[in-house]
Amino acid sequence: MAKIVVSGSLNMDVVAIAPRIPVAGETILGSQFFTTPGGKGANQAYAAAKLGGDVAMLGRVGEDAFGVQMRKNLADAGCRIDAVRALPGASGVALIYVSERGENSIVVVPGANQLLTAADIANERDLFDGCAALLLQLETPLETVVAAAQRGRALGAHVILDPAPAPSTPLPHELLEAVDILTPNETEAAILAGFAPRPLTPGEAAAIALKLQGMGPRTIIVKLGAQGCLLWHGAASTVIAAPEVTAVDTTAAGDVFNGALAVALSEGLALIQACEFAVHASALSVTRLGAQSSVPMRAEVDKFQPLRAS
């Protein structure tokens, strides 16, 4: 099987469950608290490995207990961690509030993630050899993301960018030109297209996807939560519906989608079928608490929605 490389963040998630997400200045009582390995990069690497992919991760953690735990968790899932190096200082953390309806609000403190540099992409050239899919996000320095995307493009890999957290300024042209598949959620899609963030109908998502395609990426996949996703490829759009599930925690659902998408593409599936697999893997993940702890096994997804030959 072709290799999947993930360049990105590793954070320890510090999670509080409460009846609802508090507003500014408000204190409410929660019902549960736990810590669990997360970070958009690590979530995607963990998901891809657990779903059967041949995965290697490039990232940075601190020389602390969180860093040890996060590296071990990835290794236990079958992800190669030789390029996940520990540096002096603190690991990244994410402070997450989860409502009883499954909604979440997140504050990320990057820590060691900020120490992953463009030079590290050049120094880890061997890691990218044979790469079929490269997963990227925006929780590491932007110049590092650009360097990784350009490396992936030069090797002919599927370069998949999850533009999260949503940037406050436009993404650079050299990044978007190196991206094959852009996978924003509806909030991120609206922001990237210059609109106020809001829930999108599939029709609105299609109009935004067309605008985003004009910025450079060849394919746009807008993740629409319970509505599934909208795939814009070439000059046509397709809506892939999500199965109905009871959401417990939506944390990392988008990361599970991206990890599953990379696995399906690395196995030679067409885009529509890869999106179907990713939507079903993501739907299963929201029925469980946590980020990496919510990722389903490959056998569960195959039973829920078997992959079809392309």
Active site residues: 255
Contact (Cβ atoms closer than 8 angstroms) between residue 102 and residue 248? yes
Count CB neighbours of 298 within 10 A.
17
Scan for tokens 């992409």, then name that residue. 121
Q: How far is CA 247 from CA 7, 139, 221, 254, in A?
A: 29, 25, 22, 14
* DSSP assignment string, 25-76: T-----SEEEEEEE-HHHHHHHHHHHTT-EEEEEEEEESSHHHHHHHHHHHH
Distance CA 92, CA 80 (A): 20
Q: Amino acid identity, residue 165? A: P
Give backbone dihedrals phi and psi of 40, rounded to 5 degrees, phi first. -60, -40
- The 3-state DSSP class for residue 87 equals strand
Distance CA 199, CA 160 (A): 23
Q: How far is CA 244 from CA 62, 254, 277, in A?
A: 39, 16, 15
Show the CA angle centred on residue 58, arms to residues 57 and 61, nearest 5°.
105
